[in-house]
Amino acid sequence: MIVLASQSPRRKEIMEQVGLRFLVHPADVDEMMDESLPIPQAIERLALAKAEHVATLYPNDIVIGADTLVCLDKQVLGKPQNAKNAKEMLQRLSGQTHQVITGVAICADGKKECFHSVSDVTFYSLSDREITAYIDSKEPFDKAGAYGIQGKGAVFVAKIVGDYYNIVGLPIAKLMQRLKAYE
């Protein structure tokens, strides 16, 4: 059986979309990034911490952990704490290209495997009115970088280079390729 060690509704939807049968068991782990590591490895380590935690409860199953972050000029933009913080993030992203990095970990058969995916996202220039209306929608508050590409935030995106599903929260094609080793 496959176990998703995440409470993200977006990851769950992506896995359902491709027809995977799985159960969800969110990991209760500290999500502080190790800032001494390069960002891609730090995000992989967070994904691994989630997968390892849940794998102790499901030792005979395939456990998948994931974590996604937004990075602009090598600075991580997490989930906004409040409306002011969301506005600051969206103003920084306006007219810029940023990276969305998702780390994924698989724990199965006594082995651990990690990988990550990077997508470049370029935003149109955003007006204060657009930013305020978006914040008023409440959509930015549970999303890294204060936007969701699969929702109302889609109108901000001028260009994507990379995997769309990575930006949503799970690089599903890359994950499916890796899961072939566990069939």
pLDDT of 32 reads: 84
CATH number at residue 45: 3.90.950.10
Q: Would you say residue 22 has pLDDT above 90?
A: yes
Scored b (16 or more CB within 10 A) or e, 122-161 reads ebeebeeeebeebbeeebbeebbbbbbbbeebeebeeeee
Least confident of 25-39, 48-62, 104-118, 142-156: 25-39
Query: Containing domain of residue 119, as a range?
Result: 2-182
**Mean pLDDT, all residues of the chain:** 95
pLDDT of 72 reads: 97
pLDDT of 28 reads: 86
Q: Would you say residue 136 has pLDDT above 90?
A: yes
Domains identified in the chain, total number: 1
What average pLDDT score do residues 120-135 get?
97
Residues belonging to the active site: 67
H helices of the chain, in order, are: 9-17, 39-55, 83-93, 128-136, 164-168, 172-179
List, for residues 44-91, the tens digit of each pLDDT value. Answer: 999 999 999 999 999 999 999 999 999 999 899 989 999 999 999 999
What average pLDDT score do residues 114-140 get?
97
